[in-house]
A and B are shown apart, each in its own frame.
Chain A
Amino acid sequence: MIKDLNFLGKPTRDKLNLFLSLGIILILLSIIDVILNSFLEVNITSILPRWLNFFTPLFFGFVGLHYIRIELSGNKTLDRLNKNINSNWLNAILTLLIVFVLIKNLPPLLNWLIIDADFIGTSKEECSREGACWVFVNVWFKRLIYGLYPNPEIWRINLSFLMLIGLVISAFFVPVKIKKYIIIFLLFIFPFIAISLISGGNFGLEWVETAAWGGLSLTFIISIFALLFCFPVGMFLALGRRSSAPVIRYSSIGFIEFWRGVPLITVLFMASVMMPMFLPDGTYMDKLVRVIIAITLFEAAYMAEVIRGGLQALPKGQYDAGKSLGMGYWRMHLLVILPQALKLVIPGVANTFLALVKDTPLILVVGLLELVGMIDMAKTNPDWLGFATEGYVFAGVVFWIICYSMSRYSQRLEKKYKTDR
């Protein structure tokens, strides 16, 4: 029987079971070796010299994978496995290395994140410090979400966002005719209702200055306003860059190239430090407004180039057809060109939107504290020194959830508007 194995020869189908069981045993052996090595500090191959026993798991696994690499074995699972992760010796080694890395790192990570972590408590003394101290996020949660917004007024932020969520959800369920009005309301009226509710100063609401706004709600406020404004501005810039009037064309090009050429941090500094100097005496513009304008213009330049890509992808015949039907510039663009061009650039627009959302933490440099800024502040609190990791992991997860949902939504839109071909 040993002779049949013909060590490292080609495993064949007629001895399927023999090769399979031998291969699985060897693979299990290599995995057990790694597990014992990493977690129990036991080395079952310590009889071998050091330079050799270091590689034994890899060797066992490699030989095991070689034995189960049986062509057309008739077993579907095995065939798929072989095709995808075990097609030749190089892939087998890469597969083994990835498995080893996962085995070595996944359990400690989970330990830190969940099993050894502390969730409930009020001070850092209640954390065992063996795992993550989510008490930090727990205690600071309100600040991370609402910034320095006064506690008794927080319902105003909650109400605004509940209204937003309610409107968005209702837009999915009402008939198309009403949906149109909900969307128009959401885009053009609601943002201003929400902002006056949050800032207050009228209807008997207490005025809350923007310096007190912060946390995740500020992230959302800035992102939403910048998204709303940068899209139309970008669209006009894209059209302007393709205009036949030299003044419009060159000013669009100049604008786009200027804003694409400067780093966002510089733009934000300019907006907060330099811009007030250019404003006439006595006029005052809120820092938050200035920052939103700066981010809008910055992202609009990128948006313009994305949309221009879509405009250029359309065949010239579409313009000819629009013109030949008597449409003027705006009718042609609004009815024929933009609907098609924007459909083409949904992935690019989503990309720019995601970048915008992830750029918002940079407003930290001008003293506005959104989610990451609040974490930065919390971690320097004398009672809570040394919890930066937990804070940043939390911020990362929150941003990931926001961005991933946006990405999914853009993919849905792409499918929905795919009419041709």
Chain B
Amino acid sequence: MSEKIIELQEVNKWFDDFQVLKNINLEVFLKQKIVVCGPSGSGKSTLIRCINRLEEHQKGKIVVDGIELSENTKNIEKIRAEVGMVFQQFNLFPHLSIVDNCTLAPIWVKKLPKKQAEELALKELEKVKILDQAKKFPGQLSGGQQQRAAIARALCMQPKIMLFDEPTSALDPEMIKEVLDAMVVLAKAGMTMIVVTHEMGFAKEVADEVIFMDEGMIIEKATTKEFFANPKSDRTKLFLSQIL
């Protein structure tokens, strides 16, 4: 087995009195693709937001690329620069053009020269097939184009890991495919990915493992084939019967 890049041990998280994550244990290896699914409110978004510490966990241990997440802000910023994230609502910066969205962090966080950052941005935009939109502002793009721009923006930081938080849930049906296509290309190129999604077709195509979560717990964790062929728990069976 290859190098272990993310490790969660006994992770617990509460929002006030409500426990969102209960004793989560998870290991992710380099180049592994993991799909997380489950009903809404099951804690799957919170789980991946904990990995780059957009949310704090209260108990347990999270190690990303050999660095343990703690109060240390320098560590957190270092990890965030290595972990790309794509959001449900795209969250592009509306005051900047698409190419400026992509070069902002490389220039100011990684201190890349402007020219080099721009070349990199254009290359990534080419990969997600929106090179022709580079000079436009986010508000002028369709949802699918915006989400692909957001993927390119995250890739411009040349992350080791990519987190996807329901990347297609806010899209019109005809735009879902173009975003999934871009993600498949990325997966085939060997990126380590954790994807929260309900797109089971995507899971079947690229995922190595599928995790099913409910009520803050990992109910089932299996290889993709195993997960869809014979799910063990009744809860998983019920979920799959509803979603497929």
A binds B: yes
Q: Are A324 and B108 in contact (CB under 8 A)?
A: no
Q: Are B157 and A318 in contact (CB under 8 A)?
A: no
**Would you call A76 an interface residue if the criterion is a C-beta within 8 Å of the partner chain's C-beta atoms?**
no
**Would you call A106 an interface residue if the criterion is a C-beta within 8 Å of the partner chain's C-beta atoms?**
no
**Would you call B87 an interface residue if the criterion is a C-beta within 8 Å of the partner chain's C-beta atoms?**
yes
A234 to B54 CA separation, bound complex (whole angstroms): 28
Please encode chain B, from 141 to 170, with 1 for each CB lying within 8 Å of some chain A CB and 0 for all others: 000000000100110010000000000000
| Complex interface: chain B residues within 8 A of A339 (CB) | 95
Please encode chain A, from 297 to 316, with 1 for each CB lying within 8 Å of some chain B CB and 0 for all others: 00000000000000000010
> What is the interface size of chain B, counting residues whose CB is below 8 A from a CB of the partner?
31
| Complex interface: chain B residues within 8 A of A421 (CB) | 94, 139
Q: Are B93 and A318 in contact (CB under 8 A)?
A: yes
Q: Are A331 and B109 in contact (CB under 8 A)?
A: yes
Supposing A335-B108, A420-B139, A421-B139 touch, asked if A324 and B94 sit within 8 A by C-beta, the answer is no
Number of residue pairs spanning A and B whose beta carbons lie under 8 angstroms apart: 75
A336 to B109 CA separation, bound complex (whole angstroms): 13
| Complex interface: chain B residues within 8 A of A419 (CB) | 94-95, 137, 139
Could you list which residues of chain A lie within 8 angstroms of chain B, going by C-beta atoms? 315, 317-318, 320-321, 323-328, 331, 335-336, 339-340, 343, 417, 419-421
A242 to B93 CA separation, bound complex (whole angstroms): 21
Which residues B78-113 have CB closer than 8 A to chain A? 78, 80-85, 87, 89-95, 104-105, 108-110
**Would you call B73 an interface residue if the criterion is a C-beta within 8 Å of the partner chain's C-beta atoms?**
yes
**Would you call B52 an interface residue if the criterion is a C-beta within 8 Å of the partner chain's C-beta atoms?**
yes
Contact of B81 among A317, A326, A420 (CB under 8 A): A326
Supposing A336-B93, A421-B139 touch, asked if A324 and B109 sit within 8 A by C-beta, the answer is no
Residue picked from A324, A336, A343, most chain B C-beta under 10 Å: A324
Q: Are A320 and B91 in contact (CB under 8 A)?
A: yes
| Complex interface: chain A residues within 8 A of B105 (CB) | 325-327
Supposing A325-B105, A325-B157 touch, asked if A420 and B54 sit within 8 A by C-beta, the answer is no
| Complex interface: chain B residues within 8 A of A327 (CB) | 77, 105, 108-109
| Complex interface: chain A residues within 8 A of B150 (CB) | 321
Nearest-neighbour CB distance to chain B for A280, whole angstroms, equals 39
Nearest-neighbour CB distance to chain A for B239, whole angstroms, equals 27
